[in-house]
């Protein structure tokens, strides 16, 4: 599990992040149980008072999520782009062990760039 | 199956017909987790028996609220994960969406939780939930025969609710 914190307040320590991650995993599964219709693939967007949480689940089951300001557009495409970065810089890295925390410099650099350019694009409206 | 490029990964359910019945089901819980009302308009899939379903729904909401309060990037001081929060304390979510449904949630200061499950493309239902709470106050709370904490059996409430929900599109 890897977390990039681009905010200032409200940081969590590692233990809390682990708890939140496992809580999310169970709730993702429960939300599928409660679906009134067949074929539910879990929570994609959670809207709260002060933030929105977007979740993207890849085919092998890895979940990516992004916490943003309420109503921020294009988060789904950002998540899919981050998944592309993940497959390119992390999975294709021969030194990376699956399930271990991600410590790939190129991934971090490109990730920060993607988030910054997104921010600039939105501010430049 | 197209992955990147903007199209949806999983097929979405059919858009509801023009008759306007967008809602799948609705739950009302009180602060102790008692299910005061469960209404179903369109639910093809039943995974669990009603008691388990209600408990699971209440549990899911409790955990989601706890998670939202903890993940809040704005407030600095948060409680520990899993500690029950008072209604209105901490950041709360108002809806979540999956590929097959959208769940809209509202909690009142008295701890009454109103949940509406609809088609995923439904817009923001916060005002609708407030209106439904208004109906609850008028027809249920103000009814002298109703005892708080017991399931709602008011005909007037059910009819008004039904009429209103069918008109939301």
Closest residue in A to B118 (Cα–Cα)? A36
d(Cα B140, Cα A89) in Å, to the nearest integer?
A: 59
Residue contacts between A and B (CB atoms, under 8 Å): 133
Residues of A in contact with B45 (CB under 8 A): 35-38
Nearest to B98 among A12, A41, A53 (CB): A41
The set of residues, in sequence order, having a beta carbon less than 8 Å from that of A26 and lying 6+ positions away, is: B63
Residue A76 backbone class (left: φ over 0; alpha: ψ -120 to 50; beta: rest): alpha
pLDDT at position A63 over 90 = no
pLDDT of residue B134: 92
pLDDT tens column, B130-143? 999 999 999 999 99
State both tokens at B1. 């199956």
3-state secondary structure of B155: helix
Give the pLDDT band of residue B14 (cuts 50, 70, 90). Answer: very low
Closest residue in B to A39 (Cα–Cα)? B100
Q: Which residues pair with A65 in a beta bridge?
A: A55
pLDDT of residue A2: 54
> Of B61, B168, B62, whose CA–CA distance to B125 is shortest?
B168
Contact criterion met (CB below 8 Å) for B82 and B66: yes
Pick the residue of B15, B23, B96 with the most A CBs within 10 A to test the interface with A by mutation: B96
Residues of A in contact with B74 (CB under 8 A): 9-10, 50-51
Closest residue in B to A17 (Cα–Cα)? B71
d(Cα B13, Cα B150) in Å, to the nearest integer?
A: 35
pLDDT of residue A123: 52
State both tokens at B18. 């023009």
Backbone angles phi, psi at B26, to 5 degrees: -145, 140
Instruction: Dump strand ranges (E) for chain B.
Output: 23-29, 35-40, 93-98, 102-107, 113-118
Backbone angles phi, psi at A69, to 5 degrees: -65, 150
pTM above 0.90, yes or no: no
Task: State the Cα torsion B14-B105-A34-A73 to the nearest 10°.
Answer: 50
Give the pLDDT band of residue B113 (cuts 50, 70, 90). Answer: very high
Is ipTM > 0.90 here?
Answer: no
In the numeric block, the tokens 């109503």 are attached to: A71
pLDDT tens column, B145-159? 999 889 988 889 999
């Amino acid at each position: 599990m890897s977390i990039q914190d681009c905010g200032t307040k409200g940081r969590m320590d590692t233990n809390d992040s682990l708890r939140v991650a496992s809580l999310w995993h169970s709730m993702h599964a429960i939300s599928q149980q409660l679906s009134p219709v067949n074929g539910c693939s879990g929570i994609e967007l959670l809207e709260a008072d002060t933030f929105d949480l977007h979740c993207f689940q890849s085919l092998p089951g890895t979940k990516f999520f992004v916490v943003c300001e309420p109503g921020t557009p294009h988060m789904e495409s950002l998540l899919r782009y981050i998944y592309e970065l993940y497959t390119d810089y992390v999975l294709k890295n021969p030194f990376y062990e699956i399930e271990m925390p991600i410590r790939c410099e190129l991934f971090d650099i490109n990730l920060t760039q993607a988030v910054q350019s997104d921010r600039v694009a939105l501010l430049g409206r | 199956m197209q992955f990147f490029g903007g199209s949806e990964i999983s097929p979405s359910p059919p858009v509801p017909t023009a008759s306007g019945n967008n809602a799948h089901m609705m739950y009302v819980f009180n602060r102790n987790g008692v299910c005061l009302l469960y209404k179903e308009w369109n639910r093809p899939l039943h995974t669990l028996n009603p008691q388990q379903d209600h408990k699971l729904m209440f549990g899911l909401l409790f955990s989601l609220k706890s998670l939202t309060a903890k993940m809040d990037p704005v407030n600095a001081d948060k409680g520990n994960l899993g500690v029950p929060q008072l209604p209105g304390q901490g950041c709360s979510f108002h809806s979540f969406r999956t590929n097959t449904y959208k769940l809209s949630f509202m909690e009142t200061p008295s701890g009454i939780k109103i949940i509406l499950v609809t088609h995923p493309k439904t817009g923001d239902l916060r005002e609708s939930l407030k209106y439904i709470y208004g109906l609850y106050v008028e027809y249920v709370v103000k009814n002298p025969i109703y005892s708080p904490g017991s399931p709602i059996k008011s005909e007037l409430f059910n009819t008004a609710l039904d009429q209103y929900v069918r008109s939301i599109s």
